[in-house]
Structure 1
Amino acid sequence: MNRMQSMPLWTWLVPVLSIGLLVAATFAGVGILLGSLCGAALIAAVIAAVHHAEVVAHRVGEPLGTLILALAVTAIETALILSMMIAGGEEMATLPRDAIYSAVMIICTGVVGICLLLGGLAHREQTFRVEGAGAGLAALIVMAALTLVLPVFTTSTTAGTYSTAQLGFVAVASATLWAIFVFIQTISHRDYFIPENDASDPDAHAEPPTNRQAWASFGLLFLSLVAVVGLAKMLSPAIEGAVEKANAPRIVVGIVIAALVLLPEAWAATRAARANRLQGSMNLAIGSALACIGLTVPIVVLAAIVLKLPLVLGLEPKDMGLLILTFLVSAVTLGTGRTYMMQGAIHLVMFATFLFLALVP
């Protein structure tokens, strides 16, 4: 994380330009040129949002820092999902399921895999606190099962869906588990999640930003999130059209959303692993996956009930099998608190399998 005393030019210019492009697209429409510029601005705004979240996070310290970063990423993902659901109607009924499933798979196989592989190559073996990671993984397994697996087996409604009462229960249960995990992470068992800083990592010892810088980043974070939501809503028809033209399965839309949102966070986690701070990588990965369900599901459920939007949460059999396999392997990987490159390679093979089966179901 770059903690320069003066704010880099791009960190405030990107949110401002993104808002400008959003206003232009609102009045002029999204053509080829303006659409391309809006797409680039969307990606840049996501990166800017995560940067400012990191600045605020560095001010408050660990493990609150990774919590703030996870919250910012989840806010972006939730906003993208809701904007596309409202615009797409029944055709977007499976989008929350696809986006949440994709986010969990990208984090648990892709992000964790690349962190373990690169960390193992650089340092041979790495360690982290299994007490924190194990509790987070257990909560994630329960939340994923409630959200993505059980709808296939319930009988109150058609397969893959929940009744209103069941949706309410799952939303409350997910939010409760997430809140308890946050309490454990930040208050009652905070030491389980504090990384051991490496002397060779300049970011680990950088001076925290001033209160003024932190508040400025907070304001620019909010501006970036507004730009992301607005630009995503503008570009959603183009994204859907591109997927249809390519004859790709609809889950690809969910993968695009999850990958776009998680890319900057994956970069931060990878940097931490290479700096021999695997604990920070695990905090980011598990915390983001938990926030993805614990925050996204309640908000999406509330919107679906209030706005009467169709919502399908149950996974297809092949996706369910791959999710179960991912959790089994993750339990082995996170069960000892010690990792090396072989475990990273295994997770990356599962990630490649997830992408391949999404495109060739």
Structure 2
Amino acid sequence: MSIKNLVSLGLLIFIPVSFAAERLEWDSLVVFITSAVAIVPLAIWLSTATEEVAIVAGPTIGGLLNAVFGNATELIIALVALRAGLVDIVKASITGTIISNLLLVMGLSMLLGGLRYKEQVFQPVVARMNGSSMTLAVIAIILPATVITTSNVVDPKAISQLSVIVAGVLILVYALTLLFSLKTHSYLYEIGLSDLESSELEGAHAPEHKPNLKLWIGVLLIATIGVAFESEIFVGAVEEATKGLGLTPLFTGVILLPLVGGAAEYVTAVRVAIKNNMDLSVSVAMGSSLLVALLVAPILVLVGQVIGQPMDLNFNLFEVVAMTLAVVIANVISLDGRSNWLEGTLLLATYAILGAAFYFHPV
């Protein structure tokens, strides 16, 4: 059994602990920490189950499954927080997920992969396509904030309507990116995955990998339900716990929530980078940010309208600047299709500086 599976199994002990902490009304900080740790193994098993089911389902259905469940943890946490009325934290978590995937995940992957291999290569065409789509998504997300900043008086209803229109366009663009990656240009996206599968099979000396479909569908459902329950506990304690720590909702959403919800992507991207498969590592990092910007954020806007918790795409100016910087830096570093440990360090340094800025940013 791999180290990842052992760790994810061991951390499952925090599920009953978090339930007990919440039922027995322990200190909010204890509830917050135990539920956050409990979400991590559930997110890992959710990701693993999705990958295993995708192998059986084939490339097209598998790609759709990854699209639906790739950021399921972040989406579930955000939906629970949105229902609780924590709109500012939800917006900040969108910003944080985009930034953390582009800077933290790619940075860790390039650093740790670069320490093992002098220079690693990946397909620049895939990075460029993801980068172009991310640029469009960020432009669309920051437009409502730009409208408000450049206008004297803006009707909140107009911003809400603009956000709904933008959300619809982004979902359409995401559907087109799926068509591009799964059908018309699927060959561009298959190399990294096939390389990883072949290397893992060689290491295990197994001629063919045939997952137990019923088992992994069961794991997928149980992990999804588990994440939903733990998210309820986590969100219920997040405000009081972070306030006790002196943390603002902005810092909580941008830094803490992505660390909890994105554990599976972090593990996968770093693991394959250490195996010298930067194609897949970069695709995981940039693809996750793309999914959040083009699908998760628009879904939250539309769901908010339905459940009576209106959420728009009016991010504050600092969040807009941070997202723009992350996209620009990630695009510049990935343009040549090569990476090394220094580039990884630069990405991590940028993330650390932004994290410090968000920590000291006043509410």
Q: Which range, TM-score by smaller chain?
A: 0.7 to 0.9
Equivalent of 2:95 in 71, 84, 101:
101
TM-score, scaled relative to structure 2: 0.84
Deviations 1:260-317 (A, max 9, x none): 1112211111111111110010111121111112221232112211122132533333
Instruction: Answer with 151-160 or 273-282: which moved more.
Output: 151-160
1:329 counterpart residue number:
329
The amino acid across from 2:291 in the alignment is A
1:222 counterpart residue number:
221
Q: Does the aligned pair in 2 maintain the 1:120–1:126 contact within 8 Å?
A: yes
SS in 1 for 2:262: helix
Q: Any unmatched runs of 5+ in structure 2?
A: none
Instruction: Answer with 48-57 or 61-70: which moved more.
Output: 61-70
The amino acid across from 2:334 in the alignment is L
1:5 counterpart residue number:
none
Equivalent of 2:104 in 106, 110, 123:
110
Q: Does the aligned pair in 1 maintain the 2:101–2:289 contact within 8 Å?
A: yes
1:71 counterpart residue number:
68
Alpha carbons of 1:167 and 1:314: their partners in 2 closer, same or farther (altered >3 Å)?
Answer: closer
Are 1:183 and 2:205 an aligned pair? no
CA RMSD of aligned residues (A): 3.4
CA distance in 1, matches of 2:9, 2:343: 39
The amino acid across from 2:240 in the alignment is G
User: How far does residue 64 in structure 1 lie from its aligned partner after superposition?
Assistant: 7.1
CA distance in 2, matches of 1:37, 1:153: 39
Instruction: Answer with 310-319 or 326-335: which moved more.
Output: 310-319
Instruction: Answer with 92-101 or 320-329: which moved more.
Output: 320-329
Q: Does the aligned pair in 1 maintain the 2:160–2:311 contact within 8 Å?
A: no
Write out aligned runs for 1:171-250 (5 A). 171-196=167-192, 197=195, 201-202=199-200, 209-210=209-210, 213-250=212-249
The amino acid across from 1:150 in the alignment is L
Equivalent of 1:138 in 129, 132, 145:
132
The amino acid across from 1:179 in the alignment is A
Deviations 1:188-227 (A, max 9, x none): 111212235279943577655435x133112211211111
User: Percent of aligned positions with the same letter in both sequences?
Assistant: 21
Alpha carbons of 1:97 and 1:37: their partners in 2 closer, same or farther (altered >3 Å)?
Answer: closer
Q: Does the aligned pair in 2 maintain the 1:198–1:276 contact within 8 Å?
A: no
CA distance in 2, matches of 1:144, 1:278: 24
User: How far does residue 106 in structure 1 lie from its aligned partner after superposition?
Assistant: 0.3
User: How far does residue 348 in structure 1 lie from its aligned partner after superposition?
Assistant: 1.1
Equivalent of 1:31 in 15, 26, 31:
26
CA distance in 2, matches of 1:39, 1:329: 30
Q: Does the aligned pair in 1 maintain the 2:97–2:289 contact within 8 Å?
A: yes
CA distance in 2, matches of 1:30, 1:107: 34
SS in 2 for 1:194: helix
Equivalent of 1:53 in 21, 39, 50:
50
Equivalent of 2:41 in 44, 52, 68:
44
Instruction: Answer with 31-40 or 229-238: which moved more.
Output: 31-40
CA distance in 2, matches of 1:58, 1:131: 25
Q: Does the aligned pair in 2 maintain the 1:94–1:313 contact within 8 Å?
A: no
CA distance in 2, matches of 1:161, 1:333: 39
1:84 counterpart residue number:
81
Deviations 1:207-264 (A, max 9, x none): 55435x1331122112111111111112323221111112212123313221111122
Deviations 1:23-53 (A, max 9, x none): 7778x45435993654443332222222222
Q: Does the aligned pair in 1 maintain the 2:81–2:87 contact within 8 Å?
A: no
User: How far does residue 333 in structure 1 lie from its aligned partner after superposition?
Assistant: 1.4
Q: Does the aligned pair in 1 maintain the 2:46–2:223 contact within 8 Å?
A: yes
Q: Any unmatched runs of 5+ in structure 1?
A: 3-7
Write out aligned runs for 1:338-353 (5 A). 338-353=338-353
Q: Does the aligned pair in 2 maintain the 1:126–1:340 contact within 8 Å?
A: yes
Structure 1 runs (4+) deviating above 6 angstroms are 8-17, 20-26, 61-64
Number of equivalent positions: 350
Q: Does the aligned pair in 2 maintain the 1:50–1:73 contact within 8 Å?
A: yes
Alpha carbons of 1:217 and 1:30: their partners in 2 closer, same or farther (altered >3 Å)?
Answer: farther
Write out aligned runs for 1:160-175 (5 A). 163-175=159-171
TM-score, scaled relative to structure 1: 0.84
